[in-house]
Structure 1
Amino acid sequence: MEFQILKNPMSMLEVHLGKGETITAEAGALVFMKEDIEVNTNMRSGFFKSVKVSLLGSESFLANNYTATENGCVLGLTGPHVGDIVEIAIGSDGGYIVQSGSYIASTPQVDIDTKWQGLQREFLASSYSC
């Protein structure tokens, strides 16, 4: 899997998939798709977690998994807000707290969850961690 971020400041993520590779994306993030890509729409990691992320994190209840059925498949993805897209590398040493509504896509192994950040954080802005 390779990707590039195009067209700053109103970015689009272009993802190149080889046969059998999968990317998980927020529902509604797809701009275009080239070649034969299998699309599966699922709840995020179970019913209650999906409800929590949807209600508290302002993300979709569902996520789309895009799997290339041949080499040379390409997806174009973007977020709901105008602005730049940045890559965040997530390791086993911990996660990140990001603004609600900012998730676009990840490998299927990334766990998206909503966590309580305290009362002050609730009044300032909603956030979730990944």
Structure 2
Amino acid sequence: MRPERLMNFVTETLDKAPGVQARPWQDGTNRPYGVHARFASGSELRLGVMVTTPPGEDHSKPEIPVTGEPPTETTSPDPLGKTFDPTAAEQYIAAILTNSGNNEIKNVYGYSSRATPTSPTAHPGVGLEFHSTGKGYLLFL
């Protein structure tokens, strides 16, 4: 999935979720693709949208989506509380995207779930793996 389409998908999907209002967000050439999310608690979050496309993809040609089985639905945690918690935001956004039923998505995960002993504190965000072998990155800004 190319960046503009991922931005639009994330915006539309989050905007339909309980307790979230989302709109596309851009910061010129610094952040050409992003999503601004506002939660019912009043907390706001900007997501920088980036992608890694499959090897050999020709950007001069129209995108050909690769589909497969969407990820298994997960329990969506309750919307965020009165204070902003990046880990809770990761879990909530990952669940919303997982449960979207998008058949281009193979897996969705919060960066915190991928912490390792050598990197115990990952920068907050959400990752997507696509059936095309491409990847999407939603970095919390």
Instruction: Please state which band the TM-score falls in when normalised by the shorter chain.
Output: 0.3 to 0.5
Higher relative contact order (Cα pairs below 8 Å, separated by 6+ residues): 1
**Which structure carries more helix by proportion?**
2
**Which structure carries more strand by proportion?**
1
- Give the TM-score normalised by structure 2: 0.31
- Give the TM-score normalised by structure 1: 0.33
